[in-house]
């Protein structure tokens, strides 16, 4: 007998419950990936993530081949393709990981019905995409936690399942049609891929996890906010595509122990937190979680401000550095994300959805749960318990980039300005200033703050 494993956001062989269950239930397994028209039509496959995905699929196929199998790739409507493959293979059932978005819920339901019509079963596995399944812990009287701290407390008390080893062998039935596994080079040729984009794939993820556990993890608590030090794990794209299991990352960090590991595990918990919010409130991907009615600025001057923000030409060096890192690497330091998002939503008072869309265009880890709900958190429309706090980009720059090295790395127009003076180019002597091809600030911070306070008090 045969089972199909549909891979989605879990492109790995280690710690993979659907694969483990399929191998336990059937002699032959079809590892399937569908390039889903629905995801592409929704504009959710921009070049950076498509390139990284190609690496992940190539590596998954190689991992399967090392074990005697291969990856079957199809494209089209995901439900129709899974159904067709299950029929061709004569499979009794399909296994997949549970997703959290509205799209993922609908996909599961459509798939369940279609397979049932054919007399087949769908088994959806929890705690694959997250360490703890959404809904596994809930506060009394609600279906999800709306505040991080109590969630973190409960989450930390739960025992995560043990890490599952990768299978040694996999037998894939002969004769199944497969499209070629997409190649990163082809995606790059089509254009739009950031030149500093990281490499994807499970092997790369495991190398990075190993290096992280032996190296940077120990000092994560002291160094995670150091913009120039770049001392975070950079595991986010791997967690997004599931080339690394979040549960395994937690177990691994806990085995190392200490304050660095504790801080890192807390961040992985933030990831679970946002996933459980989205799973319970799928509309929060686009609608304000708190149901606020901000009358965000738009049109005319606001549009020009958004263009300057996207281009990294706001005149606030640390914001511009972060925005350029995003374009160049398809990734941005967390402190940069906080500053860039606060600047757009609070200082410029522009709708968080405008910023979130731009991030999703470029971020290799661009993720509906983490991106939209972090944007809402920063905009004060989401789960932040202090929704009206505003980050001052100049003070933050002095604090988290004290030497100015992060700014000089990403804003070459300012590379000759020494030390922390780089954070306030408007204070440089006129003669020096005149030689810099760098804009004046597009907004006065005090004016931005007054506008925001006024708007929030009125609302
Ligand atoms: P580390 O600091 O090493 O943290 C380890 C892991 O914990 C990360 O890989 C990530 O999976 C998780 N994590 C860390 N911080 C957060 C957080 N605040 N919320 C949720 N999970 C977290 N993260 C994404 O994965 N995808 C996104 O699309 C995304 N968009 C964001 C947008 C904004 C406006 C902000 C403020 C944050 C966003 N984040 C997003 C969260 C965070 O910035 C990144 O996860 C982090 O910078 C990734 O780098 P790292 O892997 O080195 O993180």
What's the domain range around 121?
Answer: 2-128
155 and 228 belong to one structural domain: yes
Domain final position from 81, 105, 128: 128
432 and 357 belong to one structural domain: yes
37 and 21 belong to one structural domain: yes
Q: What is the mean pLDDT of residues 80-91?
A: 98
% of the chain beyond a pLDDT of 90: 97
188 is a domain residue? no
Element (H, E) at 73: strand 72-76
CA of 372 to the centre of ligand 1 (A): 11
245 and 307 belong to one structural domain: no
Domain final position from 280, 309, 339: 280
Q: What is the mean pLDDT of residues 156-179?
A: 97
432 is a domain residue? yes
Neighbouring C-beta atoms of residue 429, cutoff 10 Å: 7
**Closest ligand 1 atom, residue 239 Cα:** 11
Please state, in angstroms and rounded to a whole number, the distance separating the CA atoms of residues 358 and 303: 13
Domain final position from 128, 148, 182: 128
Ligand 1, atom 23: closest residue by C-alpha: 370
320 and 417 belong to one structural domain: yes
Q: Is 401 annotated as a binding residue?
A: no
Q: What is the mean pLDDT of residues 332-353?
A: 98
Q: Is 278 annotated as a binding residue?
A: no
**Confidence category of residue 356, pLDDT binned at 50, 70, 90:** very high
54 is a domain residue? yes
137 and 255 belong to one structural domain: yes
The CATH number assigned to the domain holding 229 equals 1.25.40.80
pLDDT of 53 over the 90 cut: yes
pLDDT at 17: 98
% of the chain beyond a pLDDT of 70: 100
pLDDT of 459 over the 80 cut: no
66 is a domain residue? yes
267 and 402 belong to one structural domain: no
The CATH number assigned to the domain holding 57 equals 3.40.50.620
Ligand 1, atom 4: closest residue by C-alpha: 267
CA dihedral 212, 217, 223, 227 (to 10 degrees): 20
100 and 244 belong to one structural domain: no
Write the CB contacts of 429 (distance below 8 Å, at least 6 apart in sequence): none
pLDDT at 41: 85
Please state, in angstroms and rounded to a whole number, the distance separating the CA atoms of residues 373 and 315: 27
Q: Is 264 annotated as a binding residue?
A: yes
Q: What is the mean pLDDT of residues 279-297?
A: 95
**Confidence category of residue 456, pLDDT binned at 50, 70, 90:** very high
Write the CB contacts of 17 (distance below 8 Å, at least 6 apart in sequence): 97, 125, 127, 128, 164
Q: What is the ipTM of this complex?
A: 0.99
Three-state SS for 72?
A: strand
Ligand 1, atom 11: closest residue by C-alpha: 236
CA of 236 to the centre of ligand 1 (A): 6
Q: What is the mean pLDDT of residues 28-57?
A: 94
Ligand 1 site, CB within 6 A = 224, 232-236, 239-240, 264, 267-268, 270-271, 274, 334, 337-338, 341, 359, 363, 365-367, 370-371, 374-375, 378
255 and 309 belong to one structural domain: no
Return the DSSP state at 216.
Answer: G
pLDDT at 38: 87
CA of 322 to the centre of ligand 1 (A): 14
Q: Considering its fold, how many domains does the chain have in total?
A: 3
Please state, in angstroms and rounded to a whole number, the distance separating the CA atoms of residues 341 and 374: 9
CA dihedral 2, 9, 54, 355 (to 10 degrees): 160
Q: Is 315 annotated as a binding residue?
A: no
Task: With beta carbons less than 8 A apart as the criterion, state whether 202 and 14 touch.
Answer: yes
pLDDT at 388: 95
Please state, in angstroms and rounded to a whole number, the distance separating the CA atoms of residues 224 and 219: 8
Q: Per-residue pLDDT tens for 105-118?
A: 999 999 999 999 99
**Confidence category of residue 353, pLDDT binned at 50, 70, 90:** very high
Q: Is 284 annotated as a binding residue?
A: no
220 and 259 belong to one structural domain: yes
pLDDT at 221: 98
Element (H, E) at 123: strand 121-125
How is residue 457 written in tokens? 């008090």
**Confidence category of residue 344, pLDDT binned at 50, 70, 90:** very high
pLDDT at 260: 98
174 is a domain residue? no
315 and 452 belong to one structural domain: yes
Q: Is 366 annotated as a binding residue?
A: yes
Task: With beta carbons less than 8 A apart as the criterion, state whether 62 and 204 touch.
Answer: no
102 and 141 belong to one structural domain: no
CA of 346 to the centre of ligand 1 (A): 20
288 is a domain residue? no
The CATH number assigned to the domain holding 354 equals 1.10.579.10
**Closest ligand 1 atom, residue 332 Cα:** 47
pLDDT at 43: 83
Q: Per-residue pLDDT tens for 183-232?
A: 999 999 999 999 999 999 999 999 999 999 999 999 999 999 999 999 99
How much of the chain is helix, strand and coil, in % rounded to 5? 55, 5, 40
Q: Is 365 annotated as a binding residue?
A: yes
89 is a domain residue? yes
pLDDT of 249 over the 90 cut: yes
Ligand 1, atom 29: closest residue by C-alpha: 371
Per the DSSP assignment, residues forming a β-bridge with 36 are 76
CA of 224 to the centre of ligand 1 (A): 11
pLDDT at 40: 84
181 is a domain residue? no
């Amino acid at each position: 007998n045969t089972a199909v494993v549909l891979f989605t956001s879990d492109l790995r062989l280690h710690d993979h419950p659907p694969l483990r269950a399929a191998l336990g239930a059937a002699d032959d397994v079809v590892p399937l990936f569908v390039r889903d028209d629905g995801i592409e039509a929704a504009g959710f496959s921009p070049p950076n993530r498509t390139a990284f995905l190609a690496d992940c699929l190539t590596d998954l196929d190689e991992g399967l081949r090392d074990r005697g199998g291969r990856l079957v790739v199809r494209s089209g409507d995901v439900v129709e393709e899974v159904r067709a493959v299950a029929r061709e293979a004569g499979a009794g059932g399909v296994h997949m990981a549970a997703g959290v978005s509205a799209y993922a819920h609908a996909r599961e339901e459509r798939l369940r019905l279609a397979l049932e019509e054919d007399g087949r079963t769908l088994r959806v596995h929890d705690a694959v995409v997250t360490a703890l399944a959404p809904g596994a812990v809930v506060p009394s009287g609600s279906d999800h936690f709306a505040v991080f701290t109590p969630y973190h407390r409960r989450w930390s008390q739960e025992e995560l399942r043990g890490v599952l080893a990768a299978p040694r062998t996999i037998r894939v039935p002969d004769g199944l049609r497969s499209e070629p596994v997409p190649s990163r080079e082809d995606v790059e040729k089509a254009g739009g891929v950031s030149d500093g984009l990281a490499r994807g794939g499970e092997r790369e993820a495991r190398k990075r996890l190993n290096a992280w556990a032996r190296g940077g993890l120990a000092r994560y608590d002291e160094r995670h906010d150091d913009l120039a030090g770049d001392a975070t794990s950079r595991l986010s794209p791997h967690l997004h595509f599931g080339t690394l299991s979040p549960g395994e990352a937690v177990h691994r960090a806990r085995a190392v122990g200490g304050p660095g590991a504790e801080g890192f595990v807390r961040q992985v918990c933030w990831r679970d937190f946002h996933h459980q919010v989205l799973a319970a409130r799928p509309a929060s991907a686009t609608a304000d979680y708190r149901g606020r009615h901000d009358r965000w600025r738009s049109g005319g001057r606001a549009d020009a401000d958004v263009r300057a923000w996207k281009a990294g030409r706001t005149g606030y060096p640390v914001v511009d550095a972060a925005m350029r890192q995003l374009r160049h690497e398809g990734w941005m330091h967390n402190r940069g994300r906080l500053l860039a998002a606060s600047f757009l939503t609070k200082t410029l008072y522009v709708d968080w959805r405008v910023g979130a869309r731009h991030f999703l265009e470029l971020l290799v880890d661009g993720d509906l749960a983490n991106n939209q709900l972090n944007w809402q958190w920063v905009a004060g429309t989401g789960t932040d318990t202090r929704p009206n706090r505003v980050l001052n980009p100049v003070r933050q720059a002095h604090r988290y980039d004290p030497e100015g090295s992060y700014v000089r790395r990403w804003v070459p127009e300012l590379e000759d300005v020494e030390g922390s003076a780089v954070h306030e180019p408007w204070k440089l002597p006129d003669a020096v200033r005149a030689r810099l091809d760098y804009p004046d600030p597009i907004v006065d911070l005090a004016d931005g703050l007054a506008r925001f306070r006024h708007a929030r008090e009125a609302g």
